Structure formats: structure tokens, C-alpha cells
Amino acid sequence: MKTILFVLHCIFATTLFAQSNYPPTFSDARVETYRKVGAIDLKLWIFGETDLQSPKPAIVFFFGGGWNSGSPDQFEKQARHFAQRGMIAITADYRVKSRHGTKVVDCVEDAKAAVAWVRDNAQRFGIDPDKIAASGGSAGGHLAACTGTIKGFGREERPNAMILLNPACTLAPIEGWESPAIQSALTVERLGVEARLISPAHHIDSTTPPTLILHGKQDTTVPYASAVAFERAMEKSGRPCKLIGYEGAGHGFFNRGNDFDKTLVEADAFLVGLGWLKK
């Protein structure tokens, strides 16, 4: 019981990902509403210069916070970096439990709607519709991974690449990995559906986009082994996937100091390798 309570605390903890500024205020970003749910306007913030004559690749970031809290400003620095590199960089809001009383499946629907909106509006913002990446950390990494794997729960507009940081990408038992404590915490009551239905590793197929995973090997919230299981499932389906493990790094390591710089370099190199960015 103590183990399960500890895991529940980790999964729903907000200390690593909670931001002081919600809703975020970016003086130089364009703000758009990508989805309305009742009285709720879900917004995204767009960085980068539009050039309608030369469409650019785009990247959409989803913040972490255990599907419970957090703010789109978590990935402000990454968004600004990729905007400076010539992309259209977007950080998206989505509904969370603490603010909207939602379940995880609602977050999945929002994330899928955000990617679909970006593709629908690609021409208006000078985005190449065939070069849209989804990215995020922890719960946000789960959502980014869902946009590239999960069918149903909204629009079918998969990104063309995924960059996942400490992602919760394996929510149910799978060949090579099982964590009874974590899986007992991921109940239908919390998720809104059975875990397997929104577990990205269980839905990899021939259309799953090329993926980069950056994961701390000492992550006790989202175990490194769960990312290894995702990588293996990608390999079985013949899909490109690069997993980079960071020794001594725990959950949310990519938000801090040298690890932030290292992960940004790897993400940049991944996009260079896809031919989206110049060296």
C-alpha cells in the first residue's frame, strides 16, 4: 500500500512541472483558440515568423503535470529556440483535473484536437503540413505520444515526428515491462477509459511517426524501462525510434541546467536528421 501511495503521489505530483504563470502571458506570441469545450476556450501560443512563400516545419509542445496541473509556459524556452531555428513553435493548453475536473482521456482528446488544428491552419501560418512534430514532457509526453499512435478520441491527424521527454508512453503491461504499482494507480476512474486504450506503446503501427525519446535512467515516476518497452514495440513495427537514456537523471531532468541544454541539442539534431532544419 505504501508503494502504491508513493506512486500515486509521483504521478499526480505538480512540483516538477507546476508553473507560476497560468494562463501564460507571452508578449510576442500570437494566441489562438484551437478548441471550445462548453465555456472553456483552449488556446495555443505561436512563436516564429510566418513566411507564406516558404512554409516552415512546426512543433507543438504539451506541458507536464500529471494530467492534473501545469502551464504551457513550461516549454517556452524550447519553443523560442526552435522559432529562432526557423520553425513555427507552438505551446498548447489543455484541460487538466485541478482546473477542469477532467479525466486523462479528455486531455488526449484536447491534444489530438491541437495537432489537427495546426494542420488545418497550416497555410494561414506558413506551416508545412507534412512537417509537424508533437513534443512534451511526462504527462505532456504521453499526450504527444498519443497524437502519433492512438486512434479514436477525436480527429485522426497524426504528427510527422515525435520528441518525447520522460514520457508516460506505456500505461499497461506489455512484453518486457510490467509495473503493478503504477498500473494499479492508473484506474479507469482516473483515466476515463482502460489504460491500454490510451497507452501509446500498445498502438504502434506502420503510421507511427519517427520518434526521439529522452529519458532519465533514474526516473522513479515514469520508469526508464517503460520507455525501453516503447522503443522495442517501435522496432517490432519497423518504425524509427531513438531512445537516449541519461545516467543519474530523474524525472523532469530536462528542465534544468546542463540537462536542458543537452536535451535541446539532441532534439535539434533529431530534426536536422529528418531534414527539417539545417545544421
Helix or strand (DSSP H, E) at 60 = strand 56-62
In a domain, 148, yes or no: yes
The predicted pLDDT at position 119 comes to 98
The predicted pLDDT at position 183 comes to 84
Dihedral angle at the C-alpha atoms of 62, 68, 71, 75, nearest 10 degrees? -40
The predicted pLDDT at position 99 comes to 97
- Domain total for the chain? 1
- Residues (pLDDT < 70) of the chain are 1-20
Q: 164 is in which domain, residue-wise?
A: 2-273
> CA-CA distances (angstroms) from residue 99 to 5, 103, 106, 197?
23, 11, 13, 24
Torsional sign, CA 250, 254, 256, 257: positive
In a domain, 117, yes or no: yes
In a domain, 278, yes or no: no
Q: Tell me the per-residue pLDDT of 113-146, one tens digit each, with 9 for 90 and over.
A: 999 999 999 999 999 999 999 999 999 999 999 9
The predicted pLDDT at position 20 comes to 58
Contact yes or no for 106/64 (Cβ under 8 A): no
In a domain, 11, yes or no: yes
Contact yes or no for 211/161 (Cβ under 8 A): yes
In a domain, 279, yes or no: no
The predicted pLDDT at position 182 comes to 86
